[in-house]
Chain A
Amino acid sequence: MTHDPQNEVSPQTIEQVYRPVTRRTFLKGAAASMIGVAGLMAALKPLLELESGSITLEELLQKRYRELKPEELKRIMESLAAKAEQEYGVRPNLRDLKPLDGVEFGYALNLTRCIGCRKCAHACLQENNQSRDDDDDLEMSYIRVLELEKGAINLETSNMYFDPPTVPQPDKYYMPVQCQQCRHSPCTQVCPVRATWPEKDGVIVVDYNWCIGCRYCMAACPYDARRFNYKKPTLKPAQINPNQNYLSNRIRRQGVVEKCTFCLQRTRAGKYPACLEVCPTGARVFGNLLDPNSEINYILNHKRVYVLKEEVGTAPRFYYFFDK
C-alpha cells in the first residue's frame, strides 16, 4: 500500500477549491448543492441494487482500489471479466496496468492543423467501449469537437453539432476538448468519497466500483470533460474492445462517472492514444513530459503553446498551439 498525500486531505467543497469566490464559482457552488440531493439518493443506490440483484455482495463490500491487495484485485478482475462475458458476450482481457516509472504524460494539439473531421471523437467511442448500440445511446465521447469563428477564441459561441458537407470551412476553426489532466484538478478535490484521483503519471482516474455517482466532480470540472452513465451501456459483441483496463476502458456500470484517461490501457503499454492514431491531419502530439527528447517536449520547446482557461489555475497537462 502506497500512501498518497492527496488521499489524506478531506474532501473540499467547490467553494474551497475555487477561491476567491467569484459570482461564477458561487453559482457553480449553488448548482452543486442542488445536485447534492441527487447525490444522497445515489449513495443509497447500491443498497437498492443489492436488493434487486444487479450487484453482488462482494462488489458492495469491496474496498477502494488503492487499498486492495494484489490477490484481492486479481479475484475482483476475474469476476468482473466473467460478468462482462456473461452480459456482453465477449470476455475482455482485463488488466491493471500501473504507471510507468519516469513517465508523466502530456498532450498537445495543433489548432491550425485540426479540420474538425471528428475522427478522434468517434475513435474514442470505439476504444473506450462507450455505449453506442441503441439509437438513444448518448455516444458520450470524451472528446467534444468545437467549431469556432476565426479571429477569436470564444468558447461560449462554439458549436458542437456542425455538419457541413466538407471540413474545414473557410471561416471556421476547430478545437477538440477532452480531459486536460490538470495538475491542480478541482474534480478530484471535491469528490466526497475520493473515488477519483491523479495517478503518478498524471492521468486522473475513476474507481468505478467506488464512485457513488454524486457528480460533484462534473460540476467542478471547468472543461466539461466528465461523463455520467445514466444507463447501463449497450454494446454488440463486435463493438467491444477487449483490451481493457480496470481504471480506464472496462465497461462501466450505470450511475458512475467516467472520463478520458489518455487511453491508459494503451499508453501505459507504450502505445499512442486512440484519438492520435486516427487523426488524418497529424494535429495531435503525445508523449512523456519527463523525457527531454520526447515529441511533446519538442513542441513545448519549439512552439508557443497555451492552455485552456488558464485563469482558473488548473495547470493542465494538455496544451494547444497554432503552427503550420
Chain B
Amino acid sequence: MTESRKRHPHASRRTLRVELIAGGLVILGLWCWGQGNNQPAASAAPPKNLPQVARSVAQQPPIGDPADTHLDTTPPRLTHGLDLVKSGWSYDCMECHRLFPARWHYGGDHRPLNEHRDIILDHGNNRFCLNCHHPTNRNAFVDYDGAEIAQADVVELCAKCHGTIYRDWQAGAHGRHNGFWKADLGDRTKLRCIQCHDPHSPKFKAMKPLPPLRYPPRAAHPPETAAHP
C-alpha cells in the first residue's frame, strides 16, 4: 500500500516513522509524537517536509479543475482510508485481522473492547461493524451478498442501504460536482459520500460560518462606529 498521507490527519506521525528508521532515536521520536498529537486536527496544513509517496487516484481524487486555485473546494471531511499509519507503524488491517476470526457481536455497547477504542458508532440503526467491513478481508467492505467492495468503491457500500440517495447522487442532486458541467469541454469530479459524511457518525457536522459581508451596510451602526458621530 503506497499512498501519500499529504492530507492525512495523522500525517505528523509519519514523519516520526522516518525518524525511527533513520536514526533509531526512539526517545526523540516519542517526543515528536507527543508534539504531533498536540497539533490541531485535520484542518491544519501538513508540514511541507513530509515524504511524498505515490497515491492511488481513487483514494483522494483531485477535485474540480486544477486551474481554480482561487476557490476553496476542500471537501468537508478528509477521508482516512483503511491502510493507516499509527504511532509510526503500518496499520494494515490484515496484519492483525488475519490472526483472529471476525466477531459479529460485542456485549453492551457493541464496541470492540481493546482496539479501535476511538471508533464510536453513531449511525442510526446500523449498529454492527460488519454491516460495512468485510469479515475476512478487513481491507475491503462488504456487499449485501457477502462480496468484497474495494476501498475505492466505498460509494457502493453506502448505496446498498441508501438507494434513493445514491440515485440522487448519481444524477448530481445529492453531493457535489466540480469542474465541467459540459462533458465535451472537460472532466467532472464527484465528491464521494465519505468526503462529506463520517461513515461511523454520518450526521453532517456543523461548521463555523465565514464572517458576514459588509454589504449592504448595516442600518444601525455597530458600537465602535457609533462612538464618533
* Chain A residues close to B by CB (< 8 Å): 100, 110, 115-119, 121-123, 125-127, 137-141, 144, 160-168, 227, 241, 243, 267, 269-272, 274, 276-282, 284-288, 294-295, 298-299, 302-303, 323-324
Contacts and interface: CB of A to CB of B under 8 A. Distances in A.
Given A161-B212, A241-B70, A277-B64, A272 B177 contact: yes
A279 B209 contact: no
B196 A140 contact: no
A298 B212 contact: no
Contacts of B180: 270-272
Interface in B139-178: 165, 168, 171-178
A277 B211 CA distance: 19
A164 B71 contact: no
A127 B165 CA distance: 31
B168 to A, nearest CB: 8
| A-B pairs with lowest CB-CB distance, top 10 | A270-B185, A270-B182, A295-B172, A282-B176, A166-B206, A118-B210, A138-B215, A139-B213, A298-B171, A140-B215
A321 to B, nearest CB: 9
B178 A269 contact: no
23 contacts: A117-B208, A138-B216, A139-B214, A139-B215, A160-B216, A161-B212, A166-B207, A166-B209, A167-B207, A167-B208, A168-B206, A270-B180, A270-B184, A271-B65, A271-B68, A271-B186, A277-B178, A280-B176, A285-B173, A287-B172, A287-B181, A298-B172, A323-B173
Contacts of B173: 110, 285, 295, 298-299, 302-303, 323
B29 to A, nearest CB: 36
Most buried by A among B71, B172, B209: B209
A123 B208 contact: no
A303 B169 CA distance: 14
Given A126-B71, A127-B70, A167-B207, A162 B181 contact: no
A59 to B, nearest CB: 27
Interface stretch (B4-12, B72-80, B97-105, B129-137): B72-80
Nearest to A293: B171
B212 A282 contact: no
A233 B67 CA distance: 24
Interface in B51-88: 64-65, 67-68, 70-73, 75-76
Contact of B206 (A115, A119, A227): A115
B194 interface: no
Contact of B211 (A163, A272, A295): A163
A138 B217 contact: yes
A271 B174 contact: no
B207 A285 contact: no
A167 to B, nearest CB: 5
Nearest to A272: B181
Given A127-B70, A267-B181, A280 B215 contact: no
Interface string B96-135: 0000000000000000000000000000000000000000
Contact of A280 (B67, B76, B214): B76
B171 A119 contact: no
Nearest to A299: B173
Contacts of A118: 209-213
Contacts of A294: 181
A324 B165 contact: yes
B206 A281 contact: no
B199 interface: no
B210 A277 contact: no
Contacts of A279: 176
Given A277-B64, A280-B196, A138 B214 contact: yes
Given A139-B213, A141-B213, A117 B207 contact: yes
A227 B213 CA distance: 14
Given A141-B213, A161-B212, A278 B72 contact: yes
A260 to B, nearest CB: 13
A144 B71 CA distance: 18
B179 interface: yes
B65 to A, nearest CB: 6
Contacts of B16: none
A218 to B, nearest CB: 11
B210 A121 contact: yes
Contact of B204 (A281, A284, A303): A281
A123 B74 CA distance: 13
Nearest to A164: B209
B210 A117 contact: yes
Contacts of B228: none
